[in-house]
Chains A and B, each alone.
Chain A
Amino acid sequence: MKYWVIGLALAGALALPACVTINIYFPAAAAEKAADKIIDEVWQLKQEQQGTTSSPAESTATTPAP
C-alpha cells in the first residue's frame, strides 16, 4: 500500500516536468495545422467552406444594379 502511494507520487513528480518540457519544444502538429489553414486562405483552397473569399468579386459585379 505504502509503495503504491510512493510510486504514484514519484510518477506524478516525473510526469509533470515532462509535460512542461513538451510545451517548450516546437509544437510540430499545431504548426502544420496553422500552416494548412493559412495556405488554404492565401491560395483560396476549399472555397466552398469560406463564403467570404468570393464576396469581393460578387460585390463588384453587382454594383451597377440600382
Chain B
Amino acid sequence: MKKLLLTSLMGVVMFISSAGLLQAAADLEANTPAIAAIKTSMQTRHAQMQTFYASGAIGLTQDGFIAVKDASAVPLSQRGGLAGLVKDENSDRARLYKEIAAANGHPEWQGEIQSTFAGRWIDKAQAGWFYQRDGAWLKK
C-alpha cells in the first residue's frame, strides 16, 4: 500500500516536471540560418517599400502576403519596380512560413503559421496603411 502511494506520488512529480519541460519547449524555433537570411532580405526590402505602404500603392492581404492596391499612386517609372518588389516580398514570406514550420519539425503547420502572421502583420501595420478584409481594402 505504501509502495503504491510512493509510486503514484512519483508519477505526479514526473507529470509536473514533464509539464515544465513542455512549457519550456512552448517557444517556436525561429532562429535557423535560413530564417535569418529571409528576415535580412525582407528587412532590406522594407526600406524601399515603406513609402509604397504609406501611399496606398500596396497593402497587406488577409492571407499574410502583400498586393498592389493602387499602382497609380506610384510614378510610372517606378511601377515595374513595384511589381518586382511585391513578387519578391511574397516569395520571401512564403519561404518564411515554410521554414518556420520545417524548423519546428511540423511542415503541416505552414498554413497556421501563415494565418498567424497574416493577423500580426495587420495588427502591427502603421496608421494609414491599407489591409484587406473580405476582399475589400481598408485603411488603418
Q: Which of A's residues lie within 8 Å of B, judged by CB?
A: 1-2, 5, 8-9, 12, 15-16, 19, 22-23, 26-45
Q: Knowing A8-B8, A12-B8 touch, does A41 contact B39 (C-beta < 8 A)?
A: yes
Q: Which of B's residues lie within 8 Å of A, judged by CB?
A: 1, 4-5, 8, 11-12, 15, 18-19, 22, 25-28, 30, 35, 39, 42-43, 46, 96, 100, 106, 109, 112-113, 116-117, 120-121, 124
Among B8, B15, B18, B100, point to the contact of A34 (Cβ < 8 A): B100
The answer to whether B30 and A34 have CB atoms under 8 Å apart is yes
Q: How far is the CA of A39 from the CA of B101 in the complex (A)?
A: 16
Known A27-B28, A33-B28; further 4 A-B contacts with Cβ < 8 A: A1-B1, A26-B106, A35-B120, A38-B96
Among A27, A33, A42, point to the contact of B42 (Cβ < 8 A): A42
List the 7 shortest-distance A-B pairs measured between CB atoms, nearest first: A34-B28, A35-B120, A31-B116, A34-B30, A42-B42, A26-B112, A30-B28
Q: How far is the CA of A28 from the CA of B19 in the complex (A)?
A: 18
Among A9, A29, A44, point to the contact of B8 (Cβ < 8 A): A9
* Residue among A29, A34, A37, A43 facing the most chain B CB atoms (10 A cut-off): A34
The answer to whether A19 and B112 have CB atoms under 8 Å apart is no
Q: Knowing A9-B8, A22-B22, A38-B39 touch, does A31 contact B28 (C-beta < 8 A)?
A: yes
* Residue among B11, B18, B19, B100 facing the most chain A CB atoms (10 A cut-off): B11
Q: How many A-B residue pairs have CB under 8 A?
A: 77
Q: Which residue of B lies closest to A41 (CB)?
A: B39
* Residue among A2, A23, A39 facing the most chain B CB atoms (10 A cut-off): A39
Q: How far is the CA of A34 from the CA of B113 in the complex (A)?
A: 10
Q: How far is the CA of A35 from the CA of B1 in the complex (A)?
A: 51
Q: How far is the CA of A21 from the CA of B72 in the complex (A)?
A: 51
**Chain B residues in 8 Å Cβ range of A31:** 28, 109, 112-113, 116
Among B8, B100, B124, point to the contact of A43 (Cβ < 8 A): B124
